[in-house]
Structure 1
Amino acid sequence: MAHAEPIAERLPPFNREAERGDLGGIFRDPSVLHDVQAMLRPESFYFHAHCAIFRAMCGLAAEGKPIDLVTVHERLVVAKEAENVGGAPYLADLWDAVPTSANAEYHAKIVRDTAAVRGLIHAANETLRDAYDRTGSVDELIASAERKLFDLSATGNESDLLDAAALAADALGAIDDRASRDGPDGLPVGFRELDDALAGLKGGQLIVIGARPGCGKTALGLAVAESNAATGNAVLFASLEMGNRELMNRVFAMRSGVPLRTIASGKLNGDQAEAVTKSGQEFAKQPFFLVTVPDLSAARLAAIVRRGIRRRGVKLVVVDYLQLLKPENERDPRHLQVGTLARRLKQLARTCDVPVILLAQLNREVENRADGKPRLADLRESGEIEAHADAVLLLHARPNQDANAAVWTTDVIIAKNRNGPVAEVALSYRRPLTRFEDYAPLHGSAT
């Protein structure tokens, strides 16, 4: 069997003729330099001579000076690079390399792609070195590798600058698409009034659901996740508080109508066992993916999400909950740790173009308030949570409700909403099932 050539002995990829064609095209028609600059930097060229020549061209353009064989050579002389590139004869050779500038942009794409592959090789080598040297924790190594890859993906992307025509066409297309659908734009929340208020969950959004312990933040996050999975939208649910069996018991209670306490005890009658089994069989067909990694960091979560998007088509991410994520730097003050985590999750939503629902705990101040209603300032440990969120939903169980009642009313206070007004939406919370429902003033009997 043939053996692959050792990686260390292989030359990185390059395309000499594409580099020459690109520079020759610019000499033929300097106006194409602006299009080429949108894709390339001097360092994109593999050969030092081509890098120096392109840098000279860019410098002349920045100063509003003409670009031709004479001016570029003069700029190279000043930079003490003329002899290194082959002098005036090599510049003339570049002029002769192509008869026209028509293919300059095509050549630039080839140069860009080969440069990106070289960058990928360099990033991989650095990652290997860091991994062998163990220069940081595993999470820090993963985060460093991801940053290198995302830096590569952001380099030389000619679509970074959108003109008015492209912007208008995209926005008008989205409006037409919304008009042709009955449901909300983006993914559904799953509750009628919340869908109307939030206008759906859109890629890039960070939606925070805040509550005190026991007020239903996990139940609401799970309800949104489960309703999306039921309609075929792949969901990744990261649970830092509950294990997989505990969380699945909640799903079975929500779907089957069998109280959570009964399911957890295992003391089910025949009808209840049949209902739970049926709910499990139906749930098994849904694109719902659970992550229960202990000490989960934002960097590791990001890696899991990206893999889920690539392999499973994940469209929605739910994180339960913020304050249990592992901080990047445990020596930082707590408010900086939490603020950094919130920022990382917003970046994750943006870079992956998926909505991220982030559950968060509120501080104790709300319990000392006369009306008991939470406010944005109650988001525990960091004001940056509010700053990075596109929407903040605060859960408030109405006071003076019957402690023995099966159904309570919970107000969802939309305290921040970039895509609509702030508002309050009432939901019915069927407590034995940990299930939220659209609000019904007359609840009926207990389940």
Structure 2
Amino acid sequence: MQLSAPIYRLKRRARLLARDENIPLNEAQDRIARKEGFATWSLLSHRLGRSASAASLLPGLADGDMLLIGARPGHGKTLIGLQLLLDAVRDGRRAVFFTLEYTERETMERIRSLDRTGAANAPEIVTSDEISADFVVRHLSVAPPGTVAVIDYLQILDQQRSKPPLAGQVAVLQAFARRTGVILGFISQIDRSFEPERSPVPCLDDIRLPNPIPAGAFSKACFLHAGEVRPQRIG
């Protein structure tokens, strides 16, 4: 089903409706969703996420690639990262999801939304609070070339003060990927300053980076917004 407007405009309509009629935002969102043909806003968002995740990134990746997956919240970046891992499993590869954001149960719910076979084709899920560059390198120390791992998400790798700065961790992971042929994907937040009116999808300049990362750290990127998916080569 084609939406009458991009998702960011529908969200804006919902916020205005909530303000004008003094109703909760979730009620306003559900009203907007019903006008679009969905029973609730969550169903509309889920449909959008499924649309984004339908794009397969795996054929465009080479051993040792560093992939950035960037989008604003609710636009499908986690789902497209999980879809990449599901495709890797189906291709006979090792696939690992390192997440500092979701529990194993929450991750499996998202996997089931993409693949009804669930655990049969699920990637390995790692939810340890200790996830960092060194943790990932140790965990994948014997992984064969072509292994695919996705880290969720880039901006909280150094949230704990006991962990090295983000730039150092990304440099370690880049060297590891080049040395071993493991493909590393990084789910990334996009800064609030991103303006969809200026560009249909974000770009590298829109990545939210409280701490700088090395120039040229990523070899590939995929940016998403309002159901549009744009993979690209960097450099």
Q: Normalising TM by the smaller chain, what interval? A: 0.5 to 0.7
Corresponding residue to 2:148 among 316, 332, 337: 316
Provide the C-alpha distance between the structure 2 equivalents of 1:293 and 1:221, rounded to a whole number of angstroms: 18
Q: Give the secondary structure class of the aligned counterpart of 2:216.
A: helix
Q: CA RMSD in A?
A: 3.0
Task: Give the CA deviation at 1:368.
Answer: 7.5
Task: Give the CA deviation at 1:288.
Answer: 2.4
Provide the C-alpha distance between the structure 2 equivalents of 1:244 and 1:331, rounded to a whole number of angstroms: 23
Task: Give the CA deviation at 1:328.
Answer: 8.6
Number of aligned residue pairs: give it: 182
Greater RCO (Cα-Cα under 8 Å, separation 6 or more): 2
Q: Give the secondary structure class of the aligned counterpart of 1:388.
A: coil
- 1:55-80 deviation digits (Å, cap 9, x = unpaired): xxxxxxxxxxxxxxxxxxxxxxxxxx
Query: Which structure shows the bigger proportion of residues in helix conformation?
Result: 1
The within-5 A match list for 1:270-349 is: 279-280=117-118, 283-284=119-120, 286=121, 288-307=123-142, 309=143, 315-326=147-158, 337-349=165-177
- Contact 1:190/1:228, CA 8 A, preserved across alignment: no
Q: Which runs of 5+ in 1 are unaligned?
A: 1-188, 257-278, 398-409, 419-447
- Contact 1:376/1:386, CA 8 A, preserved across alignment: no
| 1:383–1:326 CA distance, 2 compared to 1 (3 A) | closer
- The TM-score, its normalising length taken from structure 1, stands at 0.37
Corresponding residue to 1:245 among 85, 105, 110: 105
- 1:288-323 deviation digits (Å, cap 9, x = unpaired): 21111114121111101114x17xx87111111111
Q: Tell me what 1:393 maps to.
A: 222
Q: Tell me what 2:85 maps to.
A: 225
Q: Give the secondary structure class of the aligned counterpart of 2:115.
A: helix
Q: Tell me what 2:207 maps to.
A: 379
The within-5 A match list for 1:113-124 is: none
Residue identity matched to 1:211: A
- 1:266-308 deviation digits (Å, cap 9, x = unpaired): xxxxxxxxxxxxx23xx33x4721111114121111101114x
- Contact 1:238/1:320, CA 8 A, preserved across alignment: yes
Task: Give the CA deviation at 1:367.
Answer: 4.2
- Contact 1:211/1:396, CA 8 A, preserved across alignment: yes
Provide the C-alpha distance between the structure 1 equivalents of 2:202 and 2:104, rounded to a whole number of angstroms: 30
- 1:75-133 deviation digits (Å, cap 9, x = unpaired): xxxxxxxxxxxxxxxxxxxxxxxxxxxxxxxxxxxxxxxxxxxxxxxxxxxxxxxxxxx
Provide the C-alpha distance between the structure 2 equivalents of 1:393 and 1:368, rounded to a whole number of angstroms: 16
Residue identity matched to 1:246: E
| 1:373–1:340 CA distance, 2 compared to 1 (3 A) | same
- The TM-score, its normalising length taken from structure 2, stands at 0.66
Structure 1 stretches of at least 4 aligned residues deviating more than 4 Å after TM superposition: 327-332, 367-372
| 1:212–1:371 CA distance, 2 compared to 1 (3 A) | same
